[in-house]
Amino acid sequence: MVRETLYRSAFAMGLTLLASTGAVQGSDQSGYVFTSWQAGAVGTCVITDKHVTANCEAAPGLNGYIPPAPFVEKYLNGLVILNAPVGKRVSVLLKLREPAVGLPPDVADSATTELHLKDLQRQYYPRAAMAAKLNGQASADCTVLKNGKLDNCWITSETPTGAGFSAATLNVINLMQLTSPLPSDFKRSFVMTWQLPGPPDQVFVTCDISSEYVTRDCKTDPEPDYPEADHAVLNSLSRKPLHLPGAPVGQRVEIALIRSELDKPQIVGSHEAATAPYKPVHLNALNAQDVLYYYPPISIRLAETGYTDVKCKVTDDGRLNECWVANNSAKSDRLGHAHLRLTEMIRMQPPTADSPVYDSRQYAFRVSWSLSN
């Protein structure tokens, strides 16, 4: 499986984002980033004897969106792909042009890479292949621009043929960009393996908060592909409500949970009264590029800025769980939800036997969301 590290640039606006959690300390650099430079079209085209695309048909993108015919005619038909096989219909990704200046920043840690790749594969997994419970693989060759962005790409193989993994692979590649040093021949090959995804381990619920800071009447957005997983979450919360000290009594709040931690006891920690606030230690933290991946595109377009504070508990293995938005200066539910989403990236040093019990192992942090021209 290709290992990429993810990064979102803020289109042409230029985006600055600050996170108060410190710098990522991982050093495993894979040489890839994800970028919001998505302007490209995925489809199938016949390659003429002059290596020009013709008779192109667009493939569906995220949520089944298919570009209109004028877009296909302008950006898919009539372009040159020198290495594509003449006389055959192949899956292609053709990028729009932009000035080839500037190289992307260095990549972040590899754990984030894997996390986001799984998320993107879940979004783009071919619907028919998922219904048929098919795994797959596709390979692609791409040309590389001087700024590291991938230009025209075409599929060299797909297994099983016609199952949709070609278009899905190109849709993910559409978000990729190489970091320096770039390949000397300005070409890059990819092999992407697709395995049937399960429900994401992070799940979001909304619950009322009782006077005892206990959740009740919890609901979650239905996931059409995993209805049983939704039922399992709600059944767990019905059997064992959450205790969220400090949550707003009488209000309904959104909570980020780790699915695999539901009904799992957190047993590490001393039951004696804590003499000082719990101070967890980061194994990794957020940097601006990591957080930028989660900045909602619609919030960028609407110039929604501000800061959000989130409070979480630290699990026995150092993950953040039972997270909720304690403060939101932006008054934007989108930014609050984005902050909850990115909590799955953070890892803390696992608590020791003399740490407080789970309910008292609280960690709060702020993310500032800001745009700059």
**In which band, very low, low, confident or very high, does the pLDDT at 226 lie, cut at 50, 70 and 90?**
confident
Residues 6+ positions from 169 with CB-CB distance below 8 Å: 138, 140, 155, 190, 192, 194
Among positive and negative, which fits the CA dihedral 159, 163, 165, 166?
Answer: positive
For the chain, percent of residues with pLDDT exceeding 70: 80
Domain spans of the chain, in order of start: 15-194, 202-371
Residues 6+ positions from 348 with CB-CB distance below 8 Å: 280, 281, 282, 283, 314, 318, 319, 320, 363
- Looking at domain 15-194, its CATH superfamily turns out to be TonB (3.30.2420.10)
| Peptide bond between residue 183 and the one before it cis (omega within 30 degrees of 0) | no
- pLDDT at position 336: 96
Residues composing the chain: 373
Mean pLDDT confidence for 262-291: 80
Strands annotated E in the chain: 15-19, 32-34, 40-47, 53-58, 89-95, 136-144, 150-159, 176-178, 187-194, 202-209, 215-219, 252-258, 282-284, 306-314, 320-328, 347-348, 362-371
For the segment(s) 202-371, the CATH number from 3.30.470.10, 3.40.50.720, 3.30.2420.10, 3.30.479.30 is 3.30.2420.10
- What is the tens place of the pLDDT at every residue in 127-183? 899 989 999 999 999 888 887 778 888 999 999 999 999 999 998 888 777 777 788
The residue ranking higher by pLDDT, 287 or 80, is 80
CB hemisphere CA count around 122 (13 angstroms): 15
**In which band, very low, low, confident or very high, does the pLDDT at 110 lie, cut at 50, 70 and 90?**
low
Whether residue 23 is predicted with pLDDT greater than 60 in this model: the reply is no
- pLDDT at position 329: 94
- pLDDT at position 19: 31
- What is the tens place of the pLDDT at every residue in 334-373? 999 999 999 998 889 999 888 899 999 999 999 999 886 4
Contact between residue 361 and residue 269 where contact means Cβ atoms under 8 Å apart: yes
Same fold, 15-194 and 202-371: yes
Whether residue 31 is predicted with pLDDT greater than 50 in this model: the reply is yes
- pLDDT at position 256: 97
- pLDDT at position 155: 92
Whether residue 107 is predicted with pLDDT greater than 80 in this model: the reply is no
Mean pLDDT confidence for 278-291: 77
- pLDDT at position 21: 31
Of the ranges 2-16, 92-106, 227-241, 292-306, the best mean pLDDT one = 227-241
Mean residue pLDDT of the chain comes to: 80
List b or e across 319-336, with b for residues whose CB sees 16 or more CB atoms inside 10 angstroms: bbbbbbbbebebebebbb
Q: In angstroms, how far is the first alpha carbon of the chain from the final one?
A: 37
**In which band, very low, low, confident or very high, does the pLDDT at 33 lie, cut at 50, 70 and 90?**
low
Of the ranges 66-80, 133-147, 249-263, the best mean pLDDT one = 249-263
Read off φ and ψ for residue 10, nearest 5 degrees: -100, 55
- pLDDT at position 104: 44
**In which band, very low, low, confident or very high, does the pLDDT at 215 lie, cut at 50, 70 and 90?**
very high
- pLDDT at position 108: 45
- pLDDT at position 244: 96
**In which band, very low, low, confident or very high, does the pLDDT at 275 lie, cut at 50, 70 and 90?**
low
The residue ranking higher by pLDDT, 9 or 326, is 326
**In which band, very low, low, confident or very high, does the pLDDT at 61 lie, cut at 50, 70 and 90?**
low
